[in-house]
Amino acid sequence: MRQLKLGVMISGSGTNLQALIDACSQSDYPAQISVVIANRPNAKGLKRAKEAGIDAVCIDHTGYDDRASFEDAIHDCLKEHEVELVCLAGFMRILNAEFVNRWKDRMINIHPSLLPSYKGLHTHARAIEDGVRFGGCTIHFVRPEMDNGPILMQTVVPIAAGETEESLAAKILFYEHQMYPAAVRLIAEGKVRVSGNKVVYSDTDLGTKGMISPLV
């Protein structure tokens, strides 16, 4: 079985990275992680990668004079490891359009909201403040605009009465860990392609059931 070569980019603890590591450890999973890149030397995800026997590289953004040279170093590392799909998993740096376009339709990101709503930071607090009934998370192909691009997969989570930012984040993170490996599998198995601003699916169950909150 051919395995798609992944490059995972992180800035912190790497819980979504761990979900991908666990998936890739299964014999029938159609992808493998070639390299993990962190922009912070103390990122806990680097330890996760090393413990799994994966090449772990710190490319510290503070060691470069400008964003372009920093991103060139990342690009060179990805190419050196023959990466075919870049997975942003809590990578907390905005990427230049030049870098994004180099990896167009070959780079995905996970964001803790139902895009296109609540782009940027503090997504859970903003959703609770606005009184919306559902939060969620989105995996999308990356475009130069922040938190924008063809949507690959989403999970919707009801926002309970008395919900806090922390409790909502925990509920959504549970689904993020399931969703990221599933999204990579879709790509690796050739079941999705990008057409314009949308993702086109083949042989994929898109579901039919809805959710109501509050229940009636």
The CA-atom distances, in angstroms, between 91 and each of 37, 61, 196 are: 9, 12, 25
Pairing of β 192-195 and β 151-158: unpaired
Instruction: List the structure tokens of 137.
Output: 């998370």
Q: What angle do CA 20, 145, 106 make, to 5 degrees?
A: 40
Dihedral sign computed on CA atoms, order 77, 81, 86, 89: negative
Backbone angles phi, psi at 83, to 5 degrees: -70, 135
Catalytic option among 111, 124, 140, 177: 111
Which among 21, 132, 136 has a CA at the least distance from the CA of 87? 21
Contacts of 199 (CB under 8 A, 6+ apart): 141, 150, 151, 152, 192, 193
81 given a catalytic annotation: no
Rounded distance, CA 66 to CA 135, Å? 36
Distance CA 170, CA 159 (A): 12
Catalytic residues: 111
